[in-house]
Amino acid sequence: MIRKIIKIDETKCNGCGACAAACHEGAIEMVDGKAKLTREDYCDGLGDCLPACPTDAISFEEREAPAYNEAAVLAAKSAKSGKTNGTLPCGCPGTNSKAIKREPLAATAKSAVTSQLSQWPCQIKLVPVNAPYFDNANLLIAADCTAFAYGNFHNDFIRNHITLIGCPKLDEGDYAEKLTAILSNNNIKSLKIVRMEVPCCGGIENAAKRALLNSGKFIPWQVVTISTDGKIIE
């Protein structure tokens, strides 16, 4: 039958595995470091993988393809859920999306330094657009240097937030499209942007602001700027 189905341009694929993580049907797998549509009958043609791809390697096409087999997809999901850890979206364990549950500190350990990160991955380009932890989330978008400059970053910023990090100077491309998809497709309660005082850090602030504007949503937001010596300056 002729139907809409995804097309992957392997020349653009950087092997991050974000599309495989975003594909709820399991139609995409990482093979030899590249994303491949391994099960055409698992692809529903809705394209959850498109906004997850940081290099725009995925598009739609209409061509001869097997019909979407929902029964097979559900059976595969059921079989996968029976495994201890499931199947990683690619060869790199770092792209395995998950929520992190943390136990409250005991009264005797209140002074202990513990991580407040509540999800993985946290890099903007790797996080799946429709990850369940985005639902009703307070979103933190931070330049990666901020956590090193500001000593109490976990408790003052990461706590009770879903955290996305990036470096606009070192990462290729623009974050705005990915962030727009995250804001548009999820119920985000609030947005906090944390950047360094250096000029290049303006890229992550501008991308977040454009994403908020493009999403068409009213979400409370604020920008916090950290100085290079680790102080909050605005």
Per-residue confidence of the chain (234 residues) as pLDDT tens digits?
Answer: 899 999 999 999 988 888 888 888 899 998 888 899 999 999 998 888 888 888 889 999 999 999 999 888 888 877 766 544 444 444 455 556 667 676 665 555 555 678 999 999 999 988 988 888 999 999 999 999 999 999 999 999 999 999 999 998 888 778 999 999 999 999 999 999 999 999 888 899 999 999 999 999 999 999 999 999 999 996
Q: What is the pLDDT of residue 171?
A: 82
Contact 160, 102 (CB under 8 A): no
Joined tokens for residue 185: 């497709």
Q: How far apart are CA 39 and CA 111, in angstroms?
A: 51
Q: How far apart are CA 143 and CA 123, in angstroms?
A: 10
Number of H helices, E strands in the chain: 6, 10
What are the start-end ranges of the E strands in 1-83?
Answer: 2-8, 28-31, 34-37, 58-64
Contact 57, 35 (CB under 8 A): yes
Contact 144, 226 (CB under 8 A): no
Q: How far apart are CA 137 and CA 179, in angstroms?
A: 14
Predicted model pTM: 0.59
